[in-house]
Structure 1
Amino acid sequence: MHVQLKRRIYITCILLTGLFILLMIRLAWVQVVQINRTMPGFQRTVREMSVLQRERGVVLDAGRGQFTDYKGQPLTGKLEWGVVLFPYTDQSSHSYPSTMENSRVKEFAALLHTDVKSLQKEWNQGNAPHFWTAGTDQPSTLTDSQVIRLRELKADGASVYPMMTRYGQGATGMQWLGYLAEQPGFPNAKSGHKNEVKQPFAMKSGAAGLEKTLEPLLMGIGPTLVSRMVAGSGEVIPDILPRVIAPSNTHYPLRAETTIHIDLQQGIEQIVKKSGMKEGAIVVLDAANADVRAMVSVPFYNPQHVDPKQTAWANRAVKGAVPGSIFKIVTAAAALEYQAVSKGETFHCGGEWGKYGLSCWKEHGHGKLNLEQGFAESCNIVFAETARRLSMEQLERTADALGLARPIGWEGKQVAGMPILHHFDHEDAGRVRLPSVSPQDEGAKVQTAIGQRDVLVTPLQAANLIVTLLHDGKVTAPRLVQRIRFADGDTMLDMPMHDSPSSAGRISPGTAHQLLSWMKKVVSDGTGKSLQHARWQVAGKSGTAQVQQHGEKRNHQWFIGYGPTEQPQYAVAVLVQNVAPSSRHQATAIFRKVMDYLAESS
């Protein structure tokens, strides 16, 4: 009985084990069927992954979204040609280009404007394919004649391929565009990709400017790459043609349509170069809607070679600077709004005020003049007397009502899944006074009223101030981008214009019209007389701010205004920074050149 019981238990275990195996097989079969039903590309993907293990690829296009100007002209993204080098992995037994005929090697090197030693060194650098860079950090582009000759040469392990370059060559004043950089968490060019996909610009993301603020929209859905089958030693198999792998979604990459007029942008950059301007910014806004048509920051930067530790790439058009007398627009507006000056009242300027070390720029003074004349002549004495009748709070409220001392650029909330979308990266708010300064400090108030002391204004705010006056005191938020388009041209996202109202309200239309009229007086009878022979009749306000740089006295020069005066098309702000106190007013001269160029281009 005991033996029979053991036998029965043994048979039962065998049967249960068999049943368990059958259930496992059935479960696995069900899972495979379900995968094939729900993921028809699963088996193909597995096969592709196994193939990639025997392939090496190089990125032709990172798949990142591009920028255009407001008419659709490309600002980034140009199709160029380059040479892709496929090195051996087993360099102990083989290396390129030593396997080629000596004469062909020399001809190949000559076509790339290099020598055989340098060519061989770069060819076999690492084990991943890469574009020929001539020892730089960017792929070298080829001329049409180079493309033809290199194709005829048919070098083993090297081929000519199209590639998407992002930026043009050389320096530019378009800091608002920004640049790309390798970010933490992204594979970089030195480490390569796990599937041996390599490209110097492939895995970078926006580090500044619109490249950064629009990063979630621009990052794309994947690169386009070309891959070649390789043998076990790493040698390219010539009988197997290259394979291009690209995203299948025709909606991507996206295209950001900016408000920039690229012809105006480039033309004004040329004006800056010829003028010898070393530091500063120029902003051109459409007078109808405050859209940015051109924004130039000096010194220029090269978006392909940016050292974040340097300040050359910073966009000075959105950085606060001491405004000097252009801030007298705010003081004059406050005087008119709060009726601080009686109609027909006059002041006396003898050159010195006698308080707080304040003097007028005109050595012996202007004599007797009213507020309008004081505005045209930019008389410090008139504005010091006017400031005494105003409170610091009134100056601050008026500045806020005119779009100063606060970020003014376009922003959208809950746009495309992003909590807040800004057009202007690192835009300064500017200020009227520091919190530590007492509003009752008369000396501080007087210095503030003439645009000195702690006042900071950005060139973007200064240009937008003019647009605000042209629109009866309504503050509009300047835009840099008007819409995002899909790759097929359809609109993904509109970024409509919007106002930027002040908590302090707005100035009256009458005050706005009065100030615009006084700006004409600046050109006809005041500090802007040199603009009388401009192609357009223009109006504006000059400014000279006293600053210090490395302990030395320097000046910021400003001129802001609009033109033509009868039917304004553009508002322009020019800032020339850190010039010698004895220098001529370069900002006024550049303002005229910019306005003349705009007149010629209209």
Structure 2
Amino acid sequence: MQVQLKRRIYIACILLTGLFSLLMIRLAWVQVVQINRTMPGFQRTVREMSVLQRERGVILDTGRGQFTDYKGRPLTGKLEWGLVLFPHPDQTNHSYPSTKSVVKELAALLHTDVNSLQKEWNQGNAPHFWTAGANQPSTLTDSQVARLRELKAQGASVYPLMTRYGQAATGMQWLGYLAEQPEFPNAQSRHKNEVKQPFAMKSGAAGLERTMEPLLMGIGPTLLTRMVTGSGEVIPDIQPRVIAPANTHYPLRAETTINIDLQQGIEQLVKKSGMKEGAIVVLDAANADVRAMVSAPFYHPLHVDPKQTAWANRAVQGAVPGSIFKIVTAAAALEYHAVSKGETFHCDGEWGKYGLSCWKEHGHGTLNLEQGFAESCNIVFAETARRLSMEQLERTAVALGLARPVGWEGKRVAGMPVLHHFDHEDAGRVRLPSVSPQDEGAKVQTAIGQRDVLVTPLQAANLIVTLLHDGQVSAPRLVQRIRYADGDTMLDMPMHDSPSSAGRISPATAHQLLSWMKKVVSDGTGKSLQHARWQVAGKSGTAQVQQHGEKRNHQWFIGYGPTDQPKYAVAVLVQNVAPSSRHQATAMFRKVMDYLAESS
């Protein structure tokens, strides 16, 4: 019985093995027939088919969120055309469809030589965009696209790609730039098995690109992939496929407060004026939103080397303010009643202490605080400072939005603990901790905006908005909302005030200072602004600094216009000019205000 049982089991095993073998043969036959149907002329074995299970891809769009201006006009992201080069055997081989003549014509179309084209074409075994030796894809003109499509060069095809920045240098340092990261962000890791080449994804390294990285990183790139053989050669009979995220909400769009027309117009003014170093900030007088922010020298977001370049948005970096800080000293004098109504001072050009003198060689004669403000008299403000304490100057500065960051920030926004709009914003300062508050010489120098005082152009422009709002300090914004790709709002970033432990100045003091700024233009250091398109008001400043051991000046003019119904607050800083130079900041302030008037 046992022998018969074993024999039956043995026969059953043989039958099952045969059955499985027939099923395997049938499955293989079906797969071969299917391949022959889809790829006529190809006879593939099972082993050859396994070789085909390879893909090589190139990124058409990283999926990163884009920026727009306050009207929704794009600041980043432009759909252009590029040439994708797919790996293939040596093009000198006449059996390959792209013959020497085709390659020669292709090189001519790309404005290069055959050797350079072949060198870049044959780099690695993965497809890539033609770069012309640069570090980003070279975009094509419409005529190049049309001719390349007619040429039909094997292994070279035209595809759309999303470029992020323009080709020209810009003063929009607040926008920032991207830097390469060695690995995919988590949101994009689902594509790593479909793209065999290691793509270097980029993330924000400065500006809004960095501070808003968690919102902008997206959920994955759009990829173009091709099937290739084991040697990396593209299989022409299998069409390319595009892999893209299926979520219609992404990528997000960050809607900034910038008016791109004003931004670009003021950048052109900076170029034409020859201004080498400095910044211009234009705030909406109604709410302190940034309408334009220009920093010089300009930068190129495609050519920033974070290892060699110290990031510099001069609009949010502290600089010695000079006489524009007299606004703070005047506010403190009014708030703490340091000067009697109708009281006068005498300026003969020299003060006789701490080496202090007035900018006017023989002095201004007898004048009151209002006249001293209009004429920016150092002697008047030195005498005024003696009656104030350093603590009173500091408290007033903080109450006016100086000596602390003032830019918009949100707590617990979109899962982030803190979201800043102004990357690397300086706090500025009134004095160094090492300086004694009882040091009268330091106090006097501080009162005229010298010594250790630092103010950013953003703070200076916002100071004007503060006065226009009865002494309430606003928090300037750069972004007003985040939108989904379909236009719906994901996140609003509402306006808010910039709180201060030092409180605020009185509306009466704010109104008095605005009135005195009109006097600067009508009777003081800003007389050249009387012929501006708008009636404007403001305060000039010249700060003595040193650059590489040489005496230089920072020139400022900050103000508002039109005076009857203020629309904009503007701060202009021209840095490191020769002491003998004319006041370029005042001239630039007029040009900016005239441009704003023409644009309104």
Q: What TM-score do you get using the length of structure 2 for normalisation? A: 0.90
In 1, the alpha carbon distance for the partners of 2:215 and 2:199 equals 18
2:573 matched to which residue of 1?
Answer: 575
In 2, the alpha carbon distance for the partners of 1:143 and 1:2 equals 85
Change (3 A) 1:104 1:41: closer
Residue range with higher mean Cα deviation, 308-317 or 468-477: 308-317
> C-alpha displacement at 1:600, in angstroms?
0.1
In 1, the alpha carbon distance for the partners of 2:445 and 2:45 equals 71
Change (3 A) 1:515 1:47: farther
For each residue in 1:556-590, what CA deviation from the matched residue of structure 2 results, as whole angstroms up to 9, or x when unmatched?
A: 00000000000000000000000000000000000
Residue range with higher mean Cα deviation, 303-312 or 2-11: 2-11
> C-alpha displacement at 1:103, in angstroms?
1.5
Cα pair 1:259 1:482 within 8 Å, conserved: yes
> C-alpha displacement at 1:53, in angstroms?
4.8
Change (3 A) 1:127 1:385: same
In 1, the alpha carbon distance for the partners of 2:40 and 2:291 equals 49
Q: What TM-score do you get using the length of structure 1 for normalisation? A: 0.89
Change (3 A) 1:389 1:359: same
For each residue in 1:93-116, what CA deviation from the matched residue of structure 2 results, as whole angstroms up to 9, or x when unmatched?
A: 9998975xx221111111111111
Cα pair 2:391 2:437 within 8 Å, conserved: yes
> C-alpha displacement at 1:121, in angstroms?
0.3
Cα pair 1:87 1:235 within 8 Å, conserved: yes
> C-alpha displacement at 1:232, in angstroms?
3.0
Instruction: Determine helix, strand or coil for the equivalent of 2:471.
Output: coil
Change (3 A) 1:94 1:313: farther
1:559 matched to which residue of 2?
Answer: 557
Contiguous gaps of at least 5 residues in structure 1:
none
In 1, the alpha carbon distance for the partners of 2:25 and 2:454 equals 76
For each residue in 1:315-372, what CA deviation from the matched residue of structure 2 results, as whole angstroms up to 9, or x when unmatched?
A: 0000000000000000000000000000000000010000000000000000000000
> C-alpha displacement at 1:28, in angstroms?
25
In 1, the alpha carbon distance for the partners of 2:297 and 2:508 equals 40
> C-alpha displacement at 1:184, in angstroms?
4.8
Change (3 A) 1:237 1:39: closer
Instruction: Determine helix, strand or coil for the equivalent of 1:233.
Output: coil
Cα pair 1:97 1:120 within 8 Å, conserved: no
Instruction: Determine helix, strand or coil for the equivalent of 1:212.
Output: helix
For each residue in 1:191-222, what CA deviation from the matched residue of structure 2 results, as whole angstroms up to 9, or x when unmatched?
A: 99965848998600000000000000000000
Change (3 A) 1:24 1:419: farther
Instruction: Determine helix, strand or coil for the equivalent of 1:6.
Output: helix
Residue range with higher mean Cα deviation, 48-57 or 66-75: 48-57
Change (3 A) 1:50 1:322: farther
Instruction: Determine helix, strand or coil for the equivalent of 2:559.
Output: strand
Change (3 A) 1:411 1:89: farther
> C-alpha displacement at 1:88, in angstroms?
3.1
Instruction: Determine helix, strand or coil for the equivalent of 1:251.
Output: coil
Cα pair 1:59 1:197 within 8 Å, conserved: no
For each residue in 1:399-437, what CA deviation from the matched residue of structure 2 results, as whole angstroms up to 9, or x when unmatched?
A: 000000000000000000000000000000000000010
In 2, the alpha carbon distance for the partners of 1:561 and 1:299 equals 23
Residue range with higher mean Cα deviation, 108-117 or 336-345: 108-117
Change (3 A) 1:6 1:194: closer
> C-alpha displacement at 1:24, in angstroms?
23
In 2, the alpha carbon distance for the partners of 1:263 and 1:529 equals 29
Instruction: Determine helix, strand or coil for the equivalent of 2:131.
Output: coil
> C-alpha displacement at 1:189, in angstroms?
18
Change (3 A) 1:355 1:22: farther
Change (3 A) 1:20 1:96: closer
1:81 matched to which residue of 2?
Answer: 81
1:340 matched to which residue of 2?
Answer: 338
In 2, the alpha carbon distance for the partners of 1:227 and 1:352 equals 77
In 2, the alpha carbon distance for the partners of 1:160 and 1:494 equals 39
Cα pair 2:32 2:44 within 8 Å, conserved: no
Cα pair 1:189 1:199 within 8 Å, conserved: no
Q: How does 1:491-506 map to 2 (within 5 A)?
A: 491-506=489-504
Cα pair 1:90 1:233 within 8 Å, conserved: no
Change (3 A) 1:264 1:37: farther
For each residue in 1:420-465, what CA deviation from the matched residue of structure 2 results, as whole angstroms up to 9, or x when unmatched?
A: 0000000000000000100000000000000000000000000000
Residue range with higher mean Cα deviation, 374-383 or 6-15: 6-15
Change (3 A) 1:106 1:38: closer
In 2, the alpha carbon distance for the partners of 1:488 and 1:435 equals 52
In 2, the alpha carbon distance for the partners of 1:164 and 1:7 equals 71
> C-alpha displacement at 1:592, in angstroms?
0.2
In 1, the alpha carbon distance for the partners of 2:401 and 2:185 equals 43
> C-alpha displacement at 1:223, in angstroms?
0.3
Change (3 A) 1:188 1:275: farther
In 1, the alpha carbon distance for the partners of 2:267 and 2:117 equals 37
Cα pair 2:183 2:200 within 8 Å, conserved: no
The answer to whether residue 70 in structure 2 is matched with residue 67 in structure 1 is: no
Cα pair 1:82 1:140 within 8 Å, conserved: yes
> C-alpha displacement at 1:46, in angstroms?
19
Q: Percent identity, please.
A: 92
In 2, the alpha carbon distance for the partners of 1:130 and 1:162 equals 13
1:28 matched to which residue of 2?
Answer: 28
For each residue in 1:71-95, what CA deviation from the matched residue of structure 2 results, as whole angstroms up to 9, or x when unmatched?
A: 0000000000000000138999999
Change (3 A) 1:116 1:544: same
Change (3 A) 1:214 1:140: same
In 2, the alpha carbon distance for the partners of 1:289 and 1:185 equals 41
In 2, the alpha carbon distance for the partners of 1:72 and 1:431 equals 36
Change (3 A) 1:35 1:268: same
In 1, the alpha carbon distance for the partners of 2:48 and 2:75 equals 36
In 1, the alpha carbon distance for the partners of 2:11 and 2:384 equals 110
Cα pair 1:462 1:573 within 8 Å, conserved: yes
Change (3 A) 1:53 1:314: farther
Instruction: Determine helix, strand or coil for the equivalent of 1:44.
Output: coil
